[in-house]
Structure 1
Amino acid sequence: MFVAIHSPLQSLNFFSGHQVMVKRDDLIDPFISGNKWRKLKYILAEANQNQKTHLVTFGGTYSNHLVAAAAACSRTGLKSTAFVRGEPAENEMLLLCRLYGMQLIFTDRLSYKNKTLLFDQHFGQNQDAFFVDEGGAGAHAVKGCAEIIAELPADIDHLFCAAGTGTTAAGLLKGIQTHQLKTKLHVIPVLKGGDFIADEILKYTGNNDQLTLHTEYHFGGYAKTTPVLIEFIKQFVAHTGLMIDPVYTAKMFYALADLLQNHYFKPNAKIVALHTGGLLGLLGMKDKFS
């Protein structure tokens, strides 16, 4: 299933007078999309190597990771179970999970905080079960995301990505360091208090010299929006034909637009924005666009 795939690099004409390209990881797969494909690639390889047949993971009621994990398991013949944070719910994302055969265990928010304990309580005696952290976070995910750098031109000045946990960003910076590039990585935390992401990245990279966090573009917090962000999405999608989601990629592209408008970069800087997919997140916010 996880054969070598190089997503295309597309020029973007939305930012007048600036050379901006988009790494279209959103085109990798409609359900195992973008960075989810990258993160799961080596996780599933290890599960197979260790002869595990049951993937157990975690996420919220609108988690792109859960849909991706369910789809990946279905295609590779694995069973899948997810601990879902919060009260029992029904929505389009959970429907997709169920259609892919994933068992859902709704878990109160306090219990959900201790994921290892949840796994041990339900699957501790199950030798076939394989623990996968929320969002697929971990060293395997970093390894998968680091491979993006080899698919990009070596002369990029600035690379942008959105961040929730910092795993994708850690992989990108690791790749930049491995290939000894001069590229600066710009990370847009999509939640309040995103400064912790720098520490998460540092765990995998050793130094953050080529990292810049832009923490002021969270628009109220994780999965929060404002009318300004919604209007930006409408204009961006209508003008470019490139779909973006309110949770991750819209905040990244808004940050890039704002920095360009304020002359943050040197003239003729070569900029790439990573489209990490996650477009199913639109389903949880359709009322925002009415």
Structure 2
Amino acid sequence: MLDFDFYSPEEEIALPFYEEHRVRVFVKRDDLIHPYISGNKWRKLKYPLQQAKKEGKSRLVTFGGAWSNHLLATACAGAKFGFRTYGFVRGETIDNPVLKLCQLFDMELHFVDRESYRDKKALFDIHFANSEEAYFIDEGGYGLLAAQGCTEITNELHRTYDHCFCACGTGTTLAGLALGINTQQCGTTLHGVPVLKGGDFIRDEIVKLGVLNAVDIRLHLDYHFGGYAKTKPELIEFIKMFTRQTSILIEPTYTGKLFYAVHDLIGQKQIAEESTVLVVHSGGLTGLLGMLDKF
């Protein structure tokens, strides 16, 4: 069994804005779990890596873009737990700090054109169909085992919250939270903030992962700021304000959009007074490296 012990505290944010609206906001600090196997990436890799070890696999094969937190997390996890790693990178061959870190953790990188990248199972089969050592991990860690790891967030909480928010890319973390809330029957309203334009597809993805209608899930589709990894000046200014006033670092791709949405919904009074809100900080702060010019 691989040792996935970690510590992730809940921390209340004492901002005057929240006090003015009489809402208490807490953060599940999954960003503190590990500097590179960060946040929900740690949770989403936990059970796939245990399954790979159980099956006697020695190489993790996965997928991501050039600034992928998931690629970096998998590379580091491979180094930590004794797997070789192989990453298919979407797009043209480039060199950047995140990919350099992947290589430092001894991940082999293979750049593929965007059309070929669409069919990840086919890519895996072309290169590893005859390999008994390779273990497939989908982009972003998406899958049932990954959702199982995210379900454990709800087991660790020290209190019950009226609302729980998370950022959504593949929908895996949202699905895991939904399954956990459903099991505990705690009545928490679950909110997802898709970071891609047209994020309503997240509903279909979480159904595939076993989430039906037992949990009150609300998707907030208007906080993508133009699409995945897109920004606007108001988002950058919010991130600066939030980081300066809380000392909690967030970034423009996922957590910046997440906290912006929470802030905005509280300001619109869509979160009732006297409510308690939990925001799951999913880590991935190395994403800042590709966007420092925005600041």
In structure 2, which of residues 232, 243, 249 is the aligned counterpart of residue 243 of structure 1? Answer: 249
Check the 8 A contact 1:230/1:288 in 2, yes or no.
Answer: yes
Check the 8 A contact 2:178/2:215 in 1, yes or no.
Answer: no
Alignment of 1:1-12 (within 5 A): 2-12=3-13
In structure 2, which of residues 45, 57, 60 is the aligned counterpart of residue 55 of structure 1? Answer: 60
Distance in 1, Cα, partners of 2:3 & 2:182: 25
Where does residue 264 of structure 1 map in the other structure?
270
Distance in 2, Cα, partners of 1:257 & 1:78: 41
* Distance of aligned partners of 1:16 and 1:180 in 2 relative to their CA distance in 1, 3 Å threshold: closer
Where does residue 217 of structure 2 map in the other structure?
211
Alignment of 1:192-203 (within 5 A): 192-203=197-208
1:78 paired to 2:78: no
- Which region of structure 1 is more displaced relative to structure 2, 195-204 or 46-55? 195-204
Q: Unmatched 5+ residue regions in structure 1?
A: none
Check the 8 A contact 2:37/2:74 in 1, yes or no.
Answer: yes
Partner SS for 2:199: coil
Check the 8 A contact 2:192/2:218 in 1, yes or no.
Answer: yes
- Which region of structure 1 is more displaced relative to structure 2, 135-144 or 14-23? 14-23
Deviations 1:161-216 (A, max 9, x none): 00011000000001000111100001000010000101111222122641000000
Where does residue 231 of structure 2 map in the other structure?
225
What residue identity is the alignment partner of 2:61? V
What residue identity is the alignment partner of 1:256? V
What residue identity is the alignment partner of 2:262? L
* Distance of aligned partners of 1:208 and 1:223 in 2 relative to their CA distance in 1, 3 Å threshold: farther
Distance in 2, Cα, partners of 1:228 & 1:208: 36
**RMSD, aligned CA:** 1.0
Where does residue 36 of structure 2 map in the other structure?
31
Check the 8 A contact 1:187/1:213 in 2, yes or no.
Answer: yes
Check the 8 A contact 1:31/1:67 in 2, yes or no.
Answer: yes
TM-score by structure 2 length? 0.96
Q: Unmatched 5+ residue regions in structure 2?
A: none
Distance in 2, Cα, partners of 1:16 & 1:59: 36
Distance in 2, Cα, partners of 1:16 & 1:138: 35
1:103 paired to 2:103: no
What residue identity is the alignment partner of 1:222? Y
In structure 1, which of residues 268, 284, 287 is the aligned counterpart of residue 290 of structure 2? Answer: 284
Where does residue 175 of structure 2 map in the other structure?
170
Alignment of 1:103-142 (within 5 A): 103-142=108-147
Check the 8 A contact 1:163/1:188 in 2, yes or no.
Answer: yes
Where does residue 69 of structure 1 map in the other structure?
74
Deviations 1:205-243 (A, max 9, x none): 122641000000000000000000000001110111100
Q: How many percent identity over aligned positions?
A: 53
Count of equivalent residues = 289
Check the 8 A contact 1:2/1:41 in 2, yes or no.
Answer: no
Distance in 2, Cα, partners of 1:209 & 1:27: 28
- Which region of structure 1 is more displaced relative to structure 2, 4-13 or 142-151? 4-13
Distance in 1, Cα, partners of 2:55 & 2:184: 30
TM-score by structure 1 length? 0.98
Distance in 1, Cα, partners of 2:150 & 2:246: 26
Distance in 2, Cα, partners of 1:246 & 1:286: 10
Check the 8 A contact 1:192/1:221 in 2, yes or no.
Answer: yes
Question: What's the CA shift for 1:154?
Answer: 4.6
- Superposed structure 1 runs of 4+ greater than 6 Å apart: none
Check the 8 A contact 1:22/1:272 in 2, yes or no.
Answer: yes
Deviations 1:21-67 (A, max 9, x none): 00000000000000000000001000000000011000000000000
Partner SS for 1:195: helix
Deviations 1:128-172 (A, max 9, x none): 011110011000110000000011145210000000110000000
